[in-house]
Amino acid sequence: MALELWIEVDADGHRAGLPVDSDELLELARAIERAGSTLGGVLAHAGSSYGLSDADALRALAEQERAACVHAAERLRATGLPCPNVSVGSTPTALSAKGLPGVTEVRAGVYVFLDLMMANTGICTPDDIALSVLTTVIGHQPARGWAIVDAGWMALSRDRGTQGQGADQGYGWVCNAEGEVIDGLRVTECNQEHGIIQHLRGAALDIVDRLPVGTQLRILPNHACATGAQFSAYRALLPGGLVAPWPRMKGW
């Protein structure tokens, strides 16, 4: 069977892909041709962008990703091989690129929701985040300054992607039910079915009075991809407060 195959190239030394100047790149393309398959293109994902928080550095990495991928395609084309597609990825580079000449596809994903990891890179603010987990206060540990909610990591996901960035956002920012950020509150810990909300400036806050049992809250996630994957559907908030279920694909 003739398959269309793509070659992953390494644009930033982050994970996978062939070096763009390697002999292996050309050898692999020839092997695809010999096997009777078609080379669909080259792709890269500059995942190291998640560790950056400076607009200039992100722009530079976006150009590095673009240039590396286009260079790989041009090397292939110079040998007479087809390479119709040049695909780049990563939300921070996609939203930072000044231009994408030579690129035919951008595979950014999390840009549709954004999240606290993306806010840490500086490409958005928490107000831009379009995915949250609706939860309810179910108890307290007053002596510890804890409000306990019914969203643990089974709801929020275990993803603590902001931990390795400049600003650790715990298991997420806390908003009221309307989605307005409540200053100074964080989900500081999670168990499987319980989340713990604390005030960042210590237990002085009277958490029981401020967040009585039954209070509904929304949590902004570290990583929207991981949080979304904990659910089989989204609930889209439409104008007028209507809620529409949006099924999501499960699996990978």
Contact residues for its own copies, defined by CB under 8 A:
8, 15-16, 47, 139, 141, 148, 152-155, 157-160, 191-194, 196, 225-226, 229-230, 232, 250-252
Query: Checking DSSP bridges between strand 38-43 and strand 85-88, what pairing results, if any?
Result: parallel
Contact 66, 97 (CB under 8 A): yes
**Residue whose structure tokens are 């928490």:** 126
Report the residue number, 140 or 210, with the smaller CB distance to its own copies. 140
Among the listed residues 131, 127, 181, the one whose alpha carbon sits nearest the alpha carbon of residue 156: 131
30 vs 59, which CB is nearer to its own copies?
30
Please state the closest distance from residue 119 (CB atom) to its own copies, in A: 19
Q: What does the alpha-carbon distance between residue 189 and residue 97 come to, in Å, rounded to a whole number?
A: 36
| Cβ distance to its own copies smaller for residue 96 or 157 | 157
Report the residue number, 216 or 232, with the smaller CB distance to its own copies.
232
The strand pair at 216-220 and 173-176 is best described as antiparallel
Least Å distance, CB 20 to its own copies, is 15
CB of 116: closest distance to its own copies in angstroms? 15
Q: Which is nearer to its own copies, 43 or 148 (CB)?
A: 148
Task: Using the minimum distance from each CB to its own copies, give the nearer residue, 4 or 24.
Answer: 24
Nearest to its own copies of 79, 232 (CB atom):
232
Asked if 133 and 227 count as a contact pair (C-beta separation under 8 A), the reply is yes
